[in-house]
């Protein structure tokens, strides 16, 4: 007599459920990280521009806000951008929290704090 081999219906449903759960999490996380990398790219671009050192804090902030808008980054607001001048350098720091609903009252929270650049003046 042969023994049966293979997956039961319950096992198959559990595997499909796990795949669906992790896919849902991935679908929610990918846009958060795309925005995060857009913010980092914008900061690196602002840092690399030679005219940044001659701009005022308000002008730099306005430039960043315009680029965020162009890149469809809506989770970063004006209050998340901190620009300061310390001696011969300008420090630009964007720290923000992104919250995306997952299921019902469960949210995924991304806390992005390592977006800081320094622009050195000559």
pTM above 0.85, yes or no: no
Give the residue numbers spanning the domain of 80: 32-120
In a domain, 61, yes or no: yes
Number of domains in the chain: 1
In a domain, 1, yes or no: no
In tens, the pLDDT along 60-85 reads 999 999 999 999 999 999 999 999 98
Q: Cβ of 83: how many Cβ atoms within 10 Å?
A: 19
pLDDT at residue 85, rounded to an integer: 86
Query: Could you tell me where the DSSP H helices lie in the chain?
Result: 9-48, 57-70
Token pair listed for 40: 């980092």
Do 85 and 57 touch, CB atoms closer than 8 A?
yes
In a domain, 19, yes or no: no
In a domain, 57, yes or no: yes
In a domain, 71, yes or no: yes
pLDDT-based confidence at residue 119 (cuts at 50, 70, 90): confident
């Amino acid at each position: 007599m042969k023994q049966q081999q293979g997956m039961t219906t319950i096992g198959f449903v559990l595997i499909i459920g796990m795949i669906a759960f992790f896919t849902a999490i991935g679908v929610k996380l990918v846009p958060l990280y795309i925005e995060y990398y857009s913010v980092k790219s914008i900061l690196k671009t602002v840092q690399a521009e030679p005219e940044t050192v001659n701009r005022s804090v308000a002008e730099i902030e306005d430039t960043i806000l315009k680029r965020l808008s162009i890149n469809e980054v809506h989770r970063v607001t004006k209050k998340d951008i901190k620009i300061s001048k310390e001696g011969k350098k300008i420090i630009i720091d964007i720290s923000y929290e992104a919250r995306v609903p997952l299921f019902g009252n469960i949210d995924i929270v991304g806390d992005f704090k390592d977006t800081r650049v320094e622009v050195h003046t000559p």
